[in-house]
Amino acid sequence: MRSFEDRLIGILKTNSVDFMSTFPCDRIKFLLERVKKEFFHIPLTREEEGVGIAAGIALAGKRPAMFVQSSGIGNMITALLSLTGFYELPLAIFVSQRGIYKEGIAAQIPMGERLPEILKGAGIACSTISTADDVSIMEYKLPGMYKQNKIHAFLLSPAVFETTNTRDLGPWAGLQRDETRQQGMDERINHQYSPKLTRYDILNTIAPHLDSKVIVCNLGIPSKELFEIKHQPSNFYMLGSMGMATPIGLGISLASDKEVVVIDGDGSILMNPGTLATTAHFNPSNLTICAIDNRSYGSTGGQPTLTGSCVDLAMLAKGFGIGNVLKAADKKQLIDAIKKPTENLKFIHALALPGNAKVSNIPLHYLDVKKQVMKFIKK
């Protein structure tokens, strides 16, 4: 019996779909590895961007498809309605539907559960793929959808991938396999700044300097690692809303006199880089952004981000107008950077090795986290 992944790839090839834009989700990490090998692959920085790229591909007479997580549909909806749907362009969207089956992350539920209704309200057709046998639905729907220039979302239940999601991709996952990307990386990173620490080591190193500060921590593994290393009532752990760490930190720093440290990630900053411009504009002296750059989406399987090939986050921050930008790749550079007194907003570009520590879910209710943080800020 062929696997679900094999059958889906076969159907896409039969329908001459050749351009795949993807944004990672942990549940489809093995499928994404296959897609990357089999098709022209466009790794995205934000799901919305994929809608625009797909429109361009369709305008050029080719057939695009996207692979995203249910929360990513929230980032796509305006472009889907005012671009793809409006101009009657075809787009197949394969959605890893979270929040409906064995979900460990509470913040995935509001969007994941309501997705069919949201799509219905937006007038976007969708089909539910609950078991591997439901591939026949895609076989049936895809040809007409492309011919009639329609959008169709296929909602893939995590149950479909239960048999394949057993391997560990390892810390270097996508990074190692992509040789051209690896070459680009080697050329760009000079010895002074080659990373020596993992994200966990970085958090461990800065932990003694986080006392009596509000910490806004990026979603996924970073929050779980921080909880294990240094839980304190002033830690705000994100469970969803990728790309919002720096905006949340900016809001707190503008509305209170507390010292705020944002632990952000390269993938999350690339999803919402404009926030660095807003932050630079206000230049709050009580805000430090520690951008942990492991050149990958570490929390969802280690898929490479573009900081491994063409983007330098320190230059990006400078370009947006942040004056106080420090780069750190080892313990000493990191401690010097976090301790450095400043009158201005501080941006630390912390270069990291890929890889996650083996950490458990945070055993706190999210509303208790909110209460503790608010109490601390009010004090």
Nearer CB in complex with ligand TPP: 138/292: 292
Question: Could you say which of 72, 90, 174, 195 contacts ligand TPP (CB under 6 A)?
Answer: 72
- For ligand TPP, what does the binding mask look like between residues 12 and 31, x meaning CB under 6 A? -----------xxx------
Q: Which range binds ligand TPP by CB under 6 A, 177-185, 214-222, 278-286, 341-349?
A: 214-222
Q: How far is the CB of 61 from ligand TPP (least distance, A)?
A: 29
- Locate tokens 């539907």: which residue? 97
Nearer CB in complex with ligand TPP: 219/287: 219
- Locate tokens 């509000």: which residue? 214
Question: Could you say which of 50, 112, 298, 304 contacts ligand TPP (CB under 6 A)?
Answer: 298
- For ligand TPP, what does the binding mask look like between residues 128 and 167, x meaning CB under 6 A? ----------------------------------------
Question: Could you say which of 71, 97, 204, 223 contacts ligand TPP (CB under 6 A)?
Answer: 71
Residues with Cβ within 8 Å of 371's Cβ and at least 6 positions away in sequence, in order, are none
β-pairing verdict for 125-129 and 151-156: parallel
Q: How far is the CB of 113 from ligand TPP (least distance, A)?
A: 15
Beta carbons of 328 and 348 less than 8 angstroms apart: yes
Nearer CB in complex with ligand TPP: 64/267: 267
Report how far residue 308's alpha carbon sits from residue 301's, in angstroms, rounded to the nearest whole number: 15
Q: Which range binds ligand TPP by CB under 6 A, 37-45, 121-129, 173-181, 213-221?
A: 213-221
Report how far residue 276's alpha carbon sits from residue 247's, in angstroms, rounded to the nearest whole number: 9
Report how far residue 273's alpha carbon sits from residue 264's, in angstroms, rounded to the nearest whole number: 11
Spell out the alpha helix ranges (H) of the chain. 4-14, 29-38, 47-59, 70-79, 109-121, 135-147, 173-177, 179-188, 199-206, 221-229, 245-255, 266-271, 274-282, 313-319, 331-339, 366-378
Question: Could you say which of 64, 220, 304, 308 contacts ligand TPP (CB under 6 A)?
Answer: 220
Q: Nearest to ligand TPP by Cβ — which residue?
A: 265
Question: Could you say which of 253, 268, 279, 286 contacts ligand TPP (CB under 6 A)?
Answer: 268
Give the binding-site size for ligand TPP (rule: CB under 6 A). Answer: 27
Question: Residue 50, interface with ligand TPP (CB under 6 A)?
Answer: no
Report how far residue 307's alpha carbon sits from residue 297's, in angstroms, rounded to the nearest whole number: 11
Question: Could you say which of 294, 311, 337, 362 contacts ligand TPP (CB under 6 A)?
Answer: 294
Q: Which range binds ligand TPP by CB under 6 A, 2-10, 122-130, 246-254, 264-272?
A: 264-272
Question: Could you say which of 296, 311, 349, 369 contacts ligand TPP (CB under 6 A)?
Answer: 296
Phi first, then psi: what are they for 324, rounded to 5°? -100, 80
DSSP state of 59: H
Beta carbons of 212 and 202 less than 8 angstroms apart: no
Burial 233-248 (b: 16+ CB within 10 A, else e): ebbbbbebbbbbbbbb
Question: Could you say which of 84, 279, 300, 324 contacts ligand TPP (CB under 6 A)?
Answer: 300
How long, in residues, is the chain? 379
Beta carbons of 20 and 41 less than 8 angstroms apart: yes
Give contact residues for ligand TPP (rule: CB under 6 A).
Answer: 23-25, 69, 71-72, 75, 199, 218-222, 240, 242, 265-268, 292, 294, 296-300, 305
